[in-house]
Each structure stands twice: as C-alpha cells, then as structure tokens.
Structure 1
Amino acid sequence: MYKTVLWEISHLKKLGCRSIPNFIYATRRTHSLGGGDDNPLYVDIPKPCRRKSERKPYPTPMKLLIRRAKAEREARKAEPCRMLEEAPENGLLVPELVEVAHQVYQARGKLLRGLSKLTDAVPIKRCRFCSEVHIAHVGHEIRTCTGPKSGFRSATHVWRRGGIEDVVYFPYCFHLHDRVGKPRVGHDEKSRVLRLPAIVELCIQAGVELKDYPTRRRTKPVYWMDGRIVDFESEKEEEEEKEKEEDDEEQHKERDSQSEELDMQAQSSDDVEENLSELSFNTLESWFEMISGAKKIMKKYSVLTCGYCPEVQVGPKGHKVRMCRASKHQSRNGMHAWQEATIDDLIGPNYVWHAWDPHGPPLVNDLKRYYGKAPAVVELCVQAGAPVPDEYSSMMRLDVVPPDRDEVDLVA
C-alpha cells in the first residue's frame, strides 16, 4: 500500500501537480495509530522532553514494587539468618554474563573508534545554548530550543560544530570496590572514590577486570543476618582469588590485544571513500551489540537513576552524595530520588531529527510533524552509508513524504 502511495506522490509531482490529495498524507496517521499491533518492530518517535519539575516514569509499576517489598519483608521475618543463594546478590558472579560483559566492553571501544572516524566525514551540528544535535551540513530550523534567552530568538537554535560527546552520552557513576559489603558511597567519600562511565562499571561488576578499578571477587556466598551482610570468607582464600584474577587478566589482555590487531588490520586502508560504508556498518553493529548486551546484564545487575536528574549509580543501592540540583532537591537535602534505570539512562541515545537529504535545504518548523527521529549514532551511520535498521525504520518515518512549504495548508 505504501509503495503505491509513494508512487502516486512522485507521479503527481512529475506532472507538475502542486496540490497533493489529502488522503495520501493521511496514510501516515493511520499507520502511526494502528501499526503498533500489527508490526512488533514499530516504534513511534520519542515524546518531547519532560518538564524539569516532572519525575521520570517508573519502568516497573508502583503496585508491583510495593508487592515485592512486602514479600521481601515477610521473608526476612520468617528467616532472619539465611544464606543468599542467587547471584549477584550473594556476592558471586553470574557465569553466563561474564562473556557478555567482555563483549559489551569491547563493543564500546569499537563504537568510540568508529565514531571518531565517522565524525570527520559526516558533519555534526550542536546548538550553542541547549543540548539539541543535528547531523547534516546545515542545521534545521525547527524551533525547539530551551536554552537561555530562547524566547528572544523565537526558540530557534544557534548552531556550531559538534563532536563524539554529542552523538552518544555515557553518564558517570562511582566505582564500588565491594558491591555487596559496602554498596553505598557516603557524602564524605565523594572525593576519594573514583568515577567512571556507568557502562564500564556495569561490565566490571559483571566480570571485567581492570587494573585501575580493583573489585573484590568472592568464592563463597554471603549470609544475611538481621538486616546485615556477613562474610565468612578467610584472608587466604582472598589471596588465592587475587592470583586467579591475575591469571584471568593476562588471558583477557591477550584476547583484547588479538581483537585490537584484527581491528587495525581491517581498518588499515588507503581509500577512505570505499571503506566509509563498511566502517559505518561495523560501527552500527557494535552499537547494537553494546545495547543488547547491556540489557541482558541489567536484568541481573541493578542500575539506579535519579528520578529528576541524569545521575546514575550501578549497584544494589544508590549513593548518599548530596549533589542533586534538580527540582525539589531542597526537600531531599540534595539527595537523589533513586529509582530503577532503563537503557536510555545508562547510554544516552540523544535522539535527532532524520534528514532526508543531508546536503539539501534545512528542515522546516512548519513540517516537523512529518519528520522522523532516530538515535544520533544510527543517523550518523545511515548518512555514512549503512543500511537503515528495521528497529528504527518506522521511527525515522521513511514511509512519509513531507509536503512542500506551500502545501502545508492543503494537507489535513
């Protein structure tokens, strides 16, 4: 049906007809309303940014959270002293997620290396006053600026050159040396505890070993006694663990060095134009690999985010550092309102408007209802030559032909 509609529009424009029938443009609205049930891959464009005073929606319904809390409270009263059997709550690693954590860590490195080369070939524009990003040779004219003095500019953006940090955003969190023994960082410890990207901290807690961020690994599960975690592991066993960890580090280093050599061999070529599409395809693959692996790990390892600000903490509990400056922080004395995090909180996708023709005229504010969106990484790779992923084809609204500026009044 949609191929027929596109053919009719192109045929009418070739004949010089400037007024396209309204029913042709109405197909987008019927598709956006009924496509979610028929097509499981259908995803509409993300909603506008929430107000600063509004709280983030809960991924899990509040009634289910209350039910879980009551069940845990009853289990503690019935058995005050018990050994925790499920990993990673008992301090042990989840064996099937160790390899996934290494894959996510390597995919993140490949993604950053690919983006560093794609940003030289594809121009990136960023607003000077807000966080809006646009990937094209000319910035769009859509009035969505929320920066300072945006009312004097009629909410128009002031564009400047952007970089990798504008394409994908990795929020930082505190590193936990022992996620079970001491899962919370106090306010007085904020200057002594290291901070690192939350996706890296998630991989470390799931099994990745990094020298700069040591982490305690246990061989025996911990016990729960009267609301406290008790560990009966001896010091000798900890020394044996360290020796095993050093051996594992050497194996992982060899594996990483081999993968880096293969990447360097694949990327070493003289002709950049021929390898641009291949590079964009590999970068997009590493993006999906990182996202899918992080979702698997988040099913077992808890990740928390503040309900009002973008702060993230990987671990069973949120930290106690009083650094929140979002709405209603006075009533919380600067403490964060912790809740369950989603993949968008862990890896900021930074949705951008999809440009039909990156070298053509800028997007118009009057036609923004016909434009689609996509994560900045996907938009960058697609403009560099990668095929459009099926997961984002509906979000990018590729089945919509926007009318001209003088046809806006003729479209329903």
Structure 2
Amino acid sequence: MILKNKGYWNAAVTEGFVRLSRLYSSNSKIDFKKLKPMILKRINDRSKDYPVKAMIPLAREVLEARALLIQGVSILMQVIPVWACKFCPEVHVGPQGHSIKTCWGCRHRAKNQVHEWIPSKLNDIIVPVETYHLQNMSQDIIRHDQRFDFDRIPAIAELCWQAGVSLDDETLKGKDVEIIDTSADSLSKSKVWEIANGTLNAWEVLRTGVQKLLMVYPARVCSHCSEVHVGPSGHKARMCGVFAYESWRGPHFWKRAVVDDLVPPKISWSRRDHDPPVLLDERRDFYGHAPVVVDICSKAGIHLPKKYFCMMKVRGVSVPFQS
C-alpha cells in the first residue's frame, strides 16, 4: 500500500530536501584561504603519479603508428589521385573532383558553390594539430604574455611525451617523420596493397591508442575553435580564432577533448564502383561518406572494416528508383 501511495513518497522527498537544506544552511562559511594551500599541494602531488608505467608501451605504439600513417599516406598519394578544394577544406579521392556544391569559399563568404580542385598535399589529408609543449604536467598555466615562450609540437607527440615516451629534437620541431619519395611506376599492385593495408592498420591503431591515452591523460579543446591543449587545464593565451577564420581574439572556452580533436577524421564524399565517374549534386543524398585515409585505402583494394559500411552506404543505390 505504501509503495502505491504517491502522496506518501512526495511528502518523504520534500521532507528530505528540507532537512538537507537546513543541514547546509547551519554550516559556517568555507574559508577558501585555508583550502588554497591544500588544493595547490594536491595539484603538485598529482604529477608524482605520472607517467603511468603500464601506458608507456601504448604511447610508443601510438607514436610509431603515427609515423607509419604519414609515410603510408604520402606514398599512396603518388598512386591514387587525391584532390583538394582551392577555397575550402574539402577533399575528394578519385580520378577527378566531384561536382557537389558544398564549397563555402574563402573566409565563408560564399555558400553552396562548385569546388575548384587542385592536387592535394599531405596536410589536406592528415590535418596537423599542434599544441604547447609543457615542461611538466604540474607547471603553472601558460599566461597570454608567455605564449611565445613555449614551443608548439604535434598534439599526439605531446600526449605521448606526457605518457612517458622520450622525444628527440626532430619530434619537438614537428619534423620527426621522414617522407619517402617513391615513383608510382616502381610500385607493383601487390606492393600498393601491402602499403595500404599497413596504412589502414596504422590509422586504426592510432585512433584506438589515442582514445585509451585520453582516458588517463587529460586534454582540452576549445569550444569555438580547433585549439587543443594537452594537460590538466587549458592555457590563458587569448588566441581564439587565430588558427581559424574568426576575426576576434579572445580567451578559449575549454572542454574535454576526444579522439577526433587530436586525430581529425577529415570526412569526404566517397565514390563507389557503381557511382558515376563524377558525383552529381542532384544525387548527393544517395552518396556516402568516409574518412579520407580510409577512402584512399579502399581505392587501393583493401577490404574495410564493417563499421564504415553504414557511413559509406556500400549497398546503397546511386540513382532513385523509377516507379
């Protein structure tokens, strides 16, 4: 009978809230001056727990996968044509660019325009994400007047460094991966398949490893721009919009970073075998998408994991049914 009596439960919950409010209202005010030394001591002692020794092999694996990914993509670009828009970040994998009107122009001054395609570069496919290189995890927050006193290195390299991997001078300068210049004619079909398979595996290992590292080592990303900070709290440099198209310079609004912030997937339109040579704008609803790295590997003949099938619309039609 008591369980079915809603009035009884409402009265009990109300009485509980009243007692709880009385309990808190009777307490004296908190003296934050006494709490400040305790909080600072806890922050300084937190660095003693890092790096986590069990995560060091994973950090090395992530750094090696990043190097393999950059090398593999740089080689596949010489075999498989990849195009980039001259006025926006759009990328397309195929013999020629698509005709879908999704270009917004330079500084977002246009909308729904046709892309102007040029040969792509490595940074168009693997988007570089840089962050400040910290001396240690417990150092003071970087102020605005200190923004030029710290080096900027790849965010993945900074994450792996905080995880216990030692970095050389080339890595700190962002030139840790040597790009191999290989002629497309010298690569056989089986060799291209082998490189694409290794590139796809490196892509999966990189994203999975970064996701696991972010569960242990904190990272922040700005809510209004692409700025990333690897550390327990974001910096105070007023640079929001410097690395994007915004014109204002203000403080960042930090939130918790995820794997897509450190390893952007760079989604593009994916052309299937039964699609026309040039993707048409009026049939855009029938076409699928895929990360550019995954699309390049699929064009090399690699069988993709099933998790990409829905995004790519592998079994979808390219033209509407005729009634």
TM-score range, shorter chain: 0.7 to 0.9
* Cα distance between partner residues in 2 of 1:338 and 1:104: 25
8 Å CA contact 1:308, 1:327 repeated in 2: no
The alpha carbon displacement at 1:341 in A equals: 1.1
Partner of 1:187: 144
The one-character-per-residue Cα deviations of 1:351-379 (angstroms, maximum 9, x if unpaired) are 01111149952111111111111111000
> Partners in 2 of 1:372 and 1:399 — Cα distance?
10
Closer, same or farther in 2 for the Cα pair 1:205/1:154, shift >3 Å?
closer
Q: Aligned ranges for residues 194-273 of structure 1 at < 5 Å?
A: 194-212=151-169, 271-273=187-189
**Number of residue equivalences:** 280
Contact 1:143–1:365 under 8 Å retained in 2:
yes
Fraction of identical pairs, as percent: 32
Once the two structures are superposed, the pairs formed by residues 13-412 of structure 1 within 5 Å of their partners are: 80=38, 89-148=47-106, 155-182=113-140, 184-212=141-169, 271-325=187-241, 334-357=250-273, 360-403=276-319, 407=320, 410=322
Residue 126 of structure 1 contacts residue 166 of structure 1 at CA under 8 Å; is this kept in 2?
yes
Structure 1: gaps (5+ residues): 1-72, 216-259, 265-269
Q: Tell me the TM-score normalized by structure 1.
A: 0.61
Counterpart of 2:16?
Answer: none
| Per-residue deviation, 1:77 | 5.5
Query: TM-score, normalised on structure 2?
Result: 0.77
Q: Aligned to 1:283, what secondary structure does the other structure show?
A: helix
**Given that residues 140 and 363 in structure 1 are in contact (C-alpha distance below 8 angstroms), is that contact kept between their aligned partners in structure 2?**
yes
TM superposition shift of 1:170: 2.6
Measure the CA separation in 1 of the matches of 2:264 and 2:223.
Answer: 15
Partner secondary structure for residue 100 of structure 2:
coil
Shift of 1:393: 1.2
Residues 165-210 of structure 1 deviation map (CA, whole Å, 9 limit, x = unaligned) = 111213111000111133x222222222110110110000001101
Mark the CA change 1:139 to 1:370 in structure 2 (over 3 Å): closer, same or farther. same
| TM superposition shift of 1:78 | 12
Q: Distance in 2 between matches of 1:387 and 1:157?
A: 30
Root mean square deviation of aligned Cα: 3.4
CA distance in 2, matches of 1:358, 1:376: 19
Unpaired segments of 5 or more residues in structure 2? 1-29, 173-177, 181-185
Q: 1:313 aligns to what SS in structure 2?
A: strand
Structure 2 counterpart SS, 1:348 = coil
In 2: Cα distance, 1:336 partner to 1:81 partner: 24
SS at match of 1:120: coil
